[in-house]
Structure formats: C-alpha cells, structure tokens
Amino acid sequence: LQADDVESKIREIIPPGFCTNTDDFVSLLEKEVNFKPFGMLLHTYSVHNEEAGEDITYQIYKADMTCPGFREYHERLQTFLMWFIETASFIDVDDERWNYFLVFEKYNKDGATLFATVGYMTVYNYYVYPDKTRPRVSQMLILPPFQGEGHGAQLLETVHRYYMSSPTVLDITAEDPSENYMKLRDFVLVKLCQDLLCFSPGKLMQGFSQEMVMEAQQKLKINKQHTRRVYEILRLRATDMGDAEQSRSYRLDVKRRLIGPYKKKQRELAKMRRCLRPEELTNQLNQIDINMQHEQLEESFQQLVSDYRRVLERLAQA
C-alpha cells in the first residue's frame, strides 16, 4: 500500500510557511513572547482553574483587517475551523462588513505577560433597509483545551453587548446555527432578558406579549423568534409544574406554537379536498396520521422542556 500524501492535503488549507519538523516549530514558539492581541479590548473576566488552584484571566477583543498583522494571524487561525467544524469554509476577508471577536488567555511566565488563543467568532453585518444593520454570527470556535469552561457564553454575551449599544443595529442572528450553538444562545439570551420588567413572573403568567417583543428588540437586539424561546424558558421557571392547572396552562401555551407546522398540513389537506381526485386524496390522507401527529407534538414538547430545564440549571449556577 502507498501512503497518502498528507502534506499536500494540508497545503490546501494551511497558508505557506508552515513547519514540517518539531525543531523549527519550537524555535518559532520562542518568538511568541512578543505576541500581543489585536484590536480593541471589550471584556476581561476570570475563571477558577481547579488544577492550577487559582483564577485565570481571559480577555475578549474586537479586531478587523486594518489591525497590523491581523490578516496573517487570521489566515492561520481560521485553519482550525477545518479540523473541528464539519461544514466550515473560509470567508472573504476583503469584505469590510466582517467583524472579528477573539478570546485570549492572559498569563505570566518567567516574568513576561503572554497571551494564548482561546477561540474566536466572525460576524457579518448585513444591510437592512433603510438605515439599519443585522449582525449575523457566521463562525464560532472555542479550541478544545478551553471547551467546557464557559468561554463560549462569555464571548457570545460580549458580542451581544457590543452591538446592543449601537442605534443602527436592528437585531442579531446566526447563520445556520448548530444545536449546541442554539443551546448556548438560549442561555445567554435568558441571562440578558431575565431582569427586564416585561419578563417579571406576573407578566410571564399572562402569556407572550408584544411588549416582550418590543423591549427585547429595542434594548437587547433580540428578534421575535428568539424572544419567544426566552419567554418559554422564563415562564417554565415561574411555573409550578406540580400544580395541575399551571402545568396544563404552560403545556398548552407551548404547544400552540409547536402545532404551527401541523396546522399548515391541515390547511394543505383542505386544499387537497377541493382539488384532488378521490383516489389521490386517499393516498395523501394515508400519509397524515392524526394520532402520530399528537405523539410527535408531545415528544417535541417533552424534549423542549428538557432543554429548557438544562438552561435554567446552568443559569442557577452562573
């Protein structure tokens, strides 16, 4: 058997000048003592490290391609996407609408202050008529050694707070979000929204309202769809699920939203009754099992409640 030419495959992804032996790599590492983060410092936070027995400091920066040296740094940084995100692709860095947010660990070694790359996020600023923008999260990666420490939540919350201060931003979205990203977003948005007056327990029990949509959009740049999920999570926290009446009210409220796709099928069926021949209609009816729809609706509800409880558990620990 002939071995694969691994280096040629790597060359398609990694920019020219990469090391092919350990000695060269180690010698380059010695120069990293002079590395400093790019751009503007947005947020500093600390995380307690059990193994080290101390708090470790992290910083989040916003950068763009006008920062000296950042283009070359980003060329190397983005290659990590190919190893850890299945559908990843490189972006057009010459487009000025891209913003870059980076997380670094700040630490001391032999009297020098050093920075280690933790992760980053790219955000594209779409134009919204007539004078607004809609930032859309495109890529987000926390490198494996730092995963599970809360850096993703810190990064996403910092990015939200950065755009919240801009009067030209309409709302913040994400491009083709993964399931893990949506869970992370749920936690961050609930954390941001829980102190708004419109999400007080009394108002939550009255149901989802336009007031919630307006306040979340104006103050926190959250769109209606995401505001609805925040409402359902916070209402679950305010609901005594051991109380039959409260539990039933919550279940019906959530299911009214979940049933949307099923009602669409019913509308399509009504059109079929008017347009299809009897044998064609019978074939379509066989594909729409009402009992199965009810089972799927209940399954979706239970899964949603399970996801919501995990968000609330994490919120309680934050």
Structure-token pair, residue 64:
């763009």
**What is the helix, strand, coil percentage profile of the chain, to 5?**
55, 20, 30
Residue type, 158: T
CB of 57 closer than 8 Å to CB of 114:
no
Active site residue 175: yes
Active-site annotation holder among 175, 298, 299, 313: 175
Angle in degrees, 0-180, between the axes of helices 210-220 and 179-193, rounded to the nearest 10: 100
- For residue 243, what is the DSSP state? S
The owner of tokens 């979340």 is: 216
Give the CA angle between residues 209, 211, 214 to the nearest 5°. Answer: 120
Strand, helix or coil for residue 135:
strand
- State the DSSP H helix or E strand holding residue 103, giving kind and residue range, or none if neither: strand 98-109
CB of 216 closer than 8 Å to CB of 227:
yes
In the chain, the N- to C-terminal Cα span, in Å, equals 54
Name the residues annotated as catalytic: 175
